[in-house]
Structure 1
Amino acid sequence: MGFLDSFLGNASTVDTATVEKELAPILIADETVEAAFKLFRDMMVFTEKRLILVDKQGMTGKKTEYHSVPYKSISHFSIETAGTFDMDAELKIWISSATEPLINKQFKKDTSIYDIQKILASVCL
């Protein structure tokens, strides 16, 4: 998947070595990136310890928010797949004691949401 796919809302996988270099200032010692998905300018990064949401802000994307969610804090998650008339897939992640999802990401009709769900299941269950 390329730029056009990510622009249209399709998640694309990102090389983990490249992401590790980009996130070097916020990764702790011996923390490695297991998988990463790019959604336009934002990323979902899975390490062996936590989920990192990278939110590029502003016109240039120089301002960046890094949101870390330890896997032990995730109480449950859900995916809603795209249908015939509803072309969007949706991922929701709740943290402990929250009534509303902390993370709510929209995806266009693609299979990356299944990959993300499998990773979440393997680290949370």
Structure 2
Amino acid sequence: MGLFSAGDIDAGGAQAEFQAWLIDGEQVLAAFRTIRDTVLLTNLRFIFVDVQGLTGSKKDIQSVPWRSVTRFSFESAGTFDLDADMKVWISGSAAPIEVKISRKSDPQKIQHLMARLVIGR
């Protein structure tokens, strides 16, 4: 699917910025931004915003409910790596969505949050 390289952004700021795309009662729990793209983890779903084109006016927005996530994996950043890798497999799709998470982010915290959301606790 997609390959994103992400660094943390404030969940409250993301909540305000993307409020028009969220439904009533949906809360942004974590958010990551690349130079142009954004990944939101809400209490209901994953949202991937892929900004396209030179001007960035065209956006591909993928919405994945947590119940559709079949598995996910994290690979920590090595000594010479700049980013950790996260892969998310969605039911009905053979290829995972790949997200590169900045070394400054906390992959263990993200994994813990995702596990709670996927398992439903």
> 2 CA distance for matches of 1:45 and 1:120?
12
CA RMSD of aligned residues (A): 2.2
> 1 CA distance for matches of 2:62 and 2:18?
12
In structure 1, which of residues 97, 106, 113 is the aligned counterpart of residue 100 of structure 2? 106
> 1 CA distance for matches of 2:105 and 2:24?
32
1:40-79 to 2 correspondences below 5 Å: 40-79=35-74
- What TM-score do you get using the length of structure 1 for normalisation? 0.77
Paired-residue identity, % = 39
Q: 2:31, 2:38 within 8 Å by CA — same for their partners in 1?
A: yes
Describe the shift of the 1:25–1:97 C-alpha distance in structure 2 as closer, same or farther (beyond 3 A): same
- Bigger mean CA deviation after superposition, 82-91 or 39-48: 82-91
Higher relative contact order (CA 8 A, sep 6+): 2
> 2 CA distance for matches of 1:113 and 1:40?
19
Partner secondary structure for residue 115 of structure 1:
helix
In structure 1, which of residues 21, 29, 34 is the aligned counterpart of residue 16 of structure 2? 21
2:31 counterpart residue number: 36
